[in-house]
């Protein structure tokens, strides 16, 4: 489905009922906006992993402008400010008063900014392996320098400056960096596993233009740390012990700054927690929802 908002066309997809039969009434479930990483990622990597959450929330998967199945535009329009504005425009387009935001990586940065700008419209925050500021860039560079192969150091130099020149080069980045993104990465995949990877890549539509705009521009000055104490929505922060791109200290800092938030550290995960510790991830999110979000509905 598409929404024509803010001068562009945003793709979204809905999973699960919003109102469910409950005895003599229809009970409303919270609506959760699923915000992908990148910048320049897309929603497809969360399907079908997030499907069990649709029993508790109606899920709305979103592709940012210029990413996935949403319309492209000038690279300079792919900004954090516009991503946040697009989310609120979509919320209004769908007639929703409040939403839960599930933000992974860059999506978590968007979610934090949204909660600060539109606090009255946030029912809860689920922040997965993300960061409150540009400091993650310096820490990630140090990790690559200490632990990365020469090939990893070479390709991440392109990332830090936002200088990807083609989709092929971006695909190569993710191939080289795969062992850093997931502790369960298989260096010798079967033919079936290789095909699943190729299929997933074909389904997605990553935007190196959006990635360049972020890493080569606005992420270098991104900083919400001083404002985070103003967030009042129920917040679950999920960090990963072996995360290389948004190191675990970033999640700890978010938890220290957002009042009454909860922190879960996945000890056997890197950035791809949903892949590395899937059952524990689901259990943590569902427990939080039942205790902190669902009672309000």
pLDDT of amino acid 188: 87
pLDDT tens digits for 255-284? 999 999 999 999 999 999 999 999 999 999
**How far is CA 89 from each of CA 5, 121, 151, 245, rounded to the nearest angstrom?**
6, 12, 41, 30
CA dist 97 and 39 (Å) reads: 26
Residue 146: phi and psi, rounded to 5, are: -85, -35
Dihedrals phi, psi of 292, to nearest 5 degrees: -115, -20
- Provide CB contacts within 8 A for 115, sequence distance 6+: 101, 122, 125, 231, 233, 235
Cα-Cα end-to-end distance for the chain: 26
Question: Into which CATH architecture does domain 2-136+215-296 fall?
Answer: 3-Layer(aba) Sandwich (3.40)
Listed as ranges, residues in the chain with pLDDT below 70 are none
How much is the pLDDT for 189?
A: 83
Separation in Å, CA 207 to CA 64, 78, 87, 88, 180: 10, 10, 19, 22, 21
- Whether omega before 39 lies within 30 degrees of 0, making that bond cis, reads yes
Residues in the chain: 297
Structure tokens at 70: 């949403």
Q: Give the pLDDT score at 199.
A: 84
Checking 80-86 for CB contacts under 8 A at 24+ apart, the result is: 80/109, 80/110, 80/113, 80/214, 80/218, 80/222, 82/6, 83/39, 83/110, 84/110, 84/113, 84/114, 84/117, 85/6, 86/5, 86/6, 86/8, 86/10
What is residue 145's predicted lDDT score, i.e. its pLDDT?
Answer: 98
pLDDT on residue 291: 98
pTM confidence score: 0.97
């Amino acid at each position: 489905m598409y929404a024509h908002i803010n001068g562009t066309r945003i793709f979204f997809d809905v999973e699960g009922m919003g109102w469910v039969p409950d005895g003599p009434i229809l009970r409303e479930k919270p609506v959760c906006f699923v915000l992908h990483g990148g910048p320049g990622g897309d929603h497809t990597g969360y399907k079908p992993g997030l499907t069990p959450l649709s029993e508790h929330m109606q899920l709305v998967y979103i592709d940012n402008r210029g990413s996935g199945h949403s319309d492209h535009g000038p690279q300079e329009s792919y900004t954090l400010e516009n991503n946040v504005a697009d989310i609120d425009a979509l919320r209004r387009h769908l007639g929703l008063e409040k939403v839960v935001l599930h933000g992974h990586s860059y999506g978590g940065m968007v979610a934090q900014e949204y909660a600060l700008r539109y606090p009255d419209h946030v029912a809860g925050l689920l922040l997965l392996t993300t960061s409150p500021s540009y400091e993650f860039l310096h820490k990630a560079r140090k990790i690559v320098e200490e632990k990365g192969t020469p090939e990893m150091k070479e390709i991440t130099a392109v990332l830090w400056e936002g200088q990807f020149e083609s989709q092929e080069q971006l695909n190569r980045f993710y191939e080289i960096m795969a062992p850093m993104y997931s502790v369960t990465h298989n260096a010798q995949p079967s033919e079936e596993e290789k095909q699943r990877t190729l299929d997933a890549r074909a389904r997605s539509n990553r935007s190196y233009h959006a990635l360049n705009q972020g890493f080569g521009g606005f992420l270098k000055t991104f900083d919400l740390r001083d404002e985070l104490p103003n967030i009042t929505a129920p917040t679950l922060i999920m960090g990963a012990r072996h995360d290389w791109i948004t190191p675990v200290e970033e999640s700890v800092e978010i938890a220290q700054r957002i009042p009454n938030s909860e922190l879960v550290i996945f000890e056997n995960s890197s950035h791809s927690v949903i892949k590395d510790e899937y059952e524990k991830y689901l259990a943590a999110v569902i427990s939080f929802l039942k205790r902190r979000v669902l009672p309000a509905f």
